[in-house]
Amino acid sequence: MSRLSLVATLVGLGGCTALSHGFFNPQGPVAGHERDLFVTVSIVLLFVAGPVLLLTPLFAWHYRLSNRGDAYRPKWNFSWWVEGLIWIPPAGIVIGLAVLLWHWTQIDDPYRRLPGAAPVEVQAIALDWKWVFVYPDLGVASVDRLTIPAGRPVHIKLTSGTVMQSMLIPQLAGQIYAMGGMTTELNIQAHRPGRFRG
């Protein structure tokens, strides 16, 4: 039994390294905002799912067929207290989340320029199984490797030479799509030098 426990523990812990490459380990302001928003929404949603998960077994136990000790009210059909308890907290949570998400989507708009020095301009072209990154101000290009300076904003214009594709660098920003004949934009910044998978 102890070997099985050890193997199960090692297998479970093997997935922890994935968190170091994801948005739970942000290396830029955009990914930091996205992580904070995700954590905030998750905590708020615990107030929705938590009571349901906790009260369902309690109600099942209380209203079981063998419970003869409590009052039986076959004519009961309405209570303002119960209606308020059912509708007011979820409505408040939905309104609060709507305001919060609207505010954060304005902050994390991929087209919104980041504050600071003049951004490095990059043109990203998605091709079949590769990306071409062109640095027009520097007169150079690279394939499948986006090289950016740390601490300086980067403005990326994305398009696709083929079908719709997406760019995702989870430690720097969220996923954004590129389509042929169209241009989308993404503004990112890295806090420190490093190698970020995407």
Question: What integer pLDDT is reported at residue 99 of this predicted model?
Answer: 95
Q: Give the 3-state secondary structure of residue 3.
A: helix
Fold type of domain 19-65+80-193: Immunoglobulin-like (2.60.40)
Predicted local distance difference test score (pLDDT) of residue 6: 80
CA dist., res. 132 & res. 115, Å (int): 26
**pTM, whole model, 2 decimals?**
0.79
- Blockwise average pLDDT, block size 10, the chain, 198 residues: 78 68 87 93 90 90 82 83 90 93 91 93 95 96 95 96 93 93 95 89
Distance of alpha carbon 8 from alpha carbon 157, whole angstroms: 45
Identify the pLDDT of residue 16: 66
Structure token digits, residue 59: 């109600």
Pairwise CA distance, residues 136 & 177, whole Å: 21
pLDDT, residue 1, reads 59
pLDDT of residue 63: 82
For strands 176-178 and 184-188, give the pairing: unpaired
Count other Cβ atoms within 10 Å, centred on residue 41. 14
Which of helix, strand or coil describes residue 133? strand
Each domain of the chain, given as residue ranges in start order, spans 19-65+80-193
Question: Looking at residue 24, what is its pLDDT?
Answer: 87
Query: Residue 135 forms beta bridges with which residues?
Result: 140
